[in-house]
Structure 1
Amino acid sequence: MPLIDPARALLLVIDVQVRLMPAIADGAGVIANTNRLAAAAGLLDVPALFTEQNAGGLGPTVPELAPEPGAAFAKMSFGAAQAPGFLDRVGDRDLVVTGCEAHICVLQTVFGLLDAGRRAFVVADAVGSRRPENRDAGLARMAAHGAEIVTTEMVMFEWLGTARHPRFREAVKLIK
């Protein structure tokens, strides 16, 4: 089924780190939409995993997202799927992917996930790069190779499935 099933999903937040985000075009928008998705994931029992690229150089995940203890995966490789233990952490879940940079770490991680047989949903309004043309090229290349390009609202409403969902009103408040 092409819809994102919350029972099979995992929110993957790639490298939204304190020293990187000031350089990202519309970094505030990437953080805001990732925060909405993280809050919705919490409401709907969708697990989340955060990666941190070279945390010694780029710092931890931004405080606005404050991952749970143990929810950050340290890596040095640009593609997280190539890092030892990463695929074990994500299991066979479908990945809803946000983060930076779209044309480097997001792209290489998504390609690794696709190569490993996982479904990847890349959230266009929650990924960024230092230059918009790099972001756009990364999204186009991922789509051409099998990633599904979605938006924050698409993900949230697919996770909800119905206006009768018991957490519908709480989730909708995250969008408005």
Structure 2
Amino acid sequence: MLTLNRRTSLLLLVDLQGKLHPAIEGGPAVVREALRLANLARLFDIPVWATEHCPDRIGPLLPELAALSEATFHKTSFDACRTPAFRDALPAERTDIVVCGYEAHVCVMQTALGLLGLGRRVWAVRDAMGSRRAANREAALARLAGAGSTIITTEMAGFEWAEDAADPRWRSLLALVKDPG
């Protein structure tokens, strides 16, 4: 299938941690879109997971995102797939992994590549990813696309999860899309 399927999707919030936030170019916009994305996932009953990289040094996930995560995995490896607890917990039926977070060119990219290596389809959310420098973010998106990830936006994910304007959650989707954050 060339569009996201809510029945096979899982949203992964990668390392959206407080101590990283001030250094990320466009950080507030990235967090706004990650929040919107997590709320859209919850609206369509899609699991929302998160990772925290070295939380003892970098701090926890931003509280507003932590409140929306069903499972948070601590890791020291840049690729979450190298963390057995994360890798072993991935549900077999959730083959479409939607990824966003910090830093696009390090933990987000390496985790996405790890997921591709595990045979998952990866959907990288362009407007919900950030790095300290825009060039690093853009290089990560290009590399992910070249490796087989599909690059999407938050709104693309929401509308694909909705599938049809007849869905009873349609009005809630529109409210989330139109909310300026």
Q: What TM-score do the two structures reach when normalised by structure 2?
A: 0.94
- Which residue pairs with 1:165 in the alignment? 167
The alpha carbon displacement at 1:90 in A equals 2.0
Distance 2:133 2:48 in 1: 27
CA RMSD after TM alignment: 1.1
Q: Which moved more, 1:69-78 or 1:92-101?
A: 69-78
Structure 1 residue 53 and structure 2 residue 53: aligned? yes
Question: What does 1:35-114 align with in structure 2 at a 5 Å threshold?
Answer: 35-67=35-67, 71-92=71-92, 93=94, 94-114=96-116
Q: CA contact under 8 A between 1:50 and 1:67: conserved in structure 2?
A: no
**What is the identity, as a one-letter code, of the residue corresponding to 2:88?**
D
Q: CA contact under 8 A between 1:10 and 1:90: conserved in structure 2?
A: no
Instruction: Encode CA deviations 1:12-70: one digit per residue, 9 max, x unaligned.
Output: 00000010011000101110001001111111100010000000111111122123576
- Which residue pairs with 1:124 in the alignment? 126
Distance 1:124 1:8 in 2: 20
Q: Which moved more, 1:60-69 or 1:104-113?
A: 60-69
Q: CA contact under 8 A between 2:50 and 2:69: conserved in structure 1?
A: no
Change (3 A) 1:53 1:150: same
Unaligned runs of 5+ in 2: none
Distance 1:167 1:75 in 2: 35
The alpha carbon displacement at 1:88 in A equals 2.2
Structure 1 residue 145 and structure 2 residue 144: aligned? no
Change (3 A) 1:78 1:146: same
| Equivalent residues, number | 176
Unaligned runs of 5+ in 1: none
Q: CA contact under 8 A between 2:38 and 2:68: conserved in structure 1?
A: no
Distance 2:69 2:171 in 1: 28
Instruction: Encode CA deviations 1:70-120: one digit per residue, 9 max, x unaligned.
Output: 611100000001111212222232100010101000110011000110000
Change (3 A) 1:70 1:151: closer
Q: Give aligned-pair identity as a percent.
A: 47
**What is the identity, as a one-letter code, of the residue corresponding to 1:34?**
A
Q: CA contact under 8 A between 2:30 and 2:129: conserved in structure 1?
A: yes
Query: Where does structure 1 differ by over 4 angstroms across 4 or more consecutive aligned residues?
Result: none
Instruction: Encode CA deviations 1:140-169: one digit per residue, 9 max, x unaligned.
Output: 001001011000000000000011111010
The SS at the match of 2:175 is: helix
Change (3 A) 1:46 1:102: same
**What is the identity, as a one-letter code, of the residue corresponding to 1:84?**
P
- Which residue pairs with 1:19 in the alignment? 19
**What is the identity, as a one-letter code, of the residue corresponding to 2:17?**
Q
